[in-house]
Amino acid sequence: MLLSIVCVISVSCILGITQYKMERVNPLEQNTMVEIERGMSFNRFAYQLSTLGIVKQPFWLKVYGKLNPSFTQIKAGNYLIRNDQRVKDILLMVSQGQEHQFSITFVEGSTLTQWLAQIVKHPNITKTLNYKDNTSLYQQVASALTLETAHPEGLFFPETYAFTHKTKDTDLLKRAYQQMQIHLNNAWQKRQGNLPYADPYEALIMASIIEKESGQHSEHQVISSVFVNRLQKNMRLQTDPTVIYGIGSNYKGNITRKHLREKTRYNTYRINGLPPTPIAMPGKSAIIASMQPAQTDYYYFVSDGNGKHIFSTNLKDHNRAVAKYQLGQ
């Protein structure tokens, strides 16, 4: 009888201490990243937490695991253990595979070259492309994603993407490509009539130009109207961002008359219609603007030097605006 009572008391004490240990907030001074390797046992994970100082003795973790077998089904991955997290919550996190989400932000108006430069510097992305071969990177991306074009500029939607450790670069790009297709197709379905585009890709080219012309979303539809009006009148677009894109690495910060005269595939001062591909990654505002331009009589615009533009219906007024805002006359 006495032995039974002692056993009951002992078991109760063990259960109580175990529960107390699991409810405690871990003693870490700062958040710590922990990696669970594929095939790691629960006992080994318990020792890992002990080594990091998250628990003093792995014994209590093992006891808790015996009492709650579901918590021992730990998932491989990288986990961020917060310094305000209970031990019990740590076990719940790793048993449910709630890996830490890293993130990368691709801004509107950036190019694929800039995206790839960000990706190669990110320590938590697995690189599958040959980043040392700059001349073939675009082709590598197109091949890896089985795209129809060898120059996939503009085909990826700019936003912040969350991902887990060791996500492949091509998997991120594939997600961005799929997002762009969704936004582009949605906008195409709601487009205005009589637009000068043969297909959504041409609208995407226009959206990329609009994006590079202004960071002010409120201006996008008006800028779109200028370019649409010019195309419908068979006027050249004459937009500087396309010239800069055509110059490539030779652009040093200023457009010269020589640049404007240089006949590249992208120089809209020298070619008719749209350039052959987008020149950047347009955001949602520019995409919608390309397919829903404002109804205006504008054919010209010039920067006011403060991030906005002055719009004109005729060349005479435009030249006055250029003299005032660009030449300081």
pLDDT per residue over 254-281, tens digit each? 888 888 888 899 999 999 999 999 999 9
pLDDT of residue 137: 95
pLDDT of residue 249: 82
The model's pTM is 0.85
pLDDT of residue 171: 97
User: How does pLDDT run across 13-26, given as a tens digit for each residue?
Assistant: 667 777 777 778 77
pLDDT of residue 225: 97
CA distances from 79 to 21, 52, 65, 218 (A): 21, 14, 19, 41
pLDDT of residue 120: 96
pLDDT of residue 19: 76
Average pLDDT, the chain: 90
Mean pLDDT, each 10-residue run in order, the chain (329 residues) = 52 69 81 90 90 84 85 91 89 92 96 96 96 92 95 97 95 98 98 95 98 94 98 96 91 84 93 97 98 97 89 94 78
Q: Which domains does the chain have, with CATH numbers?
A: 22-95 (3.30.1490.480), 102-181 (no CATH), 192-325 (no CATH)
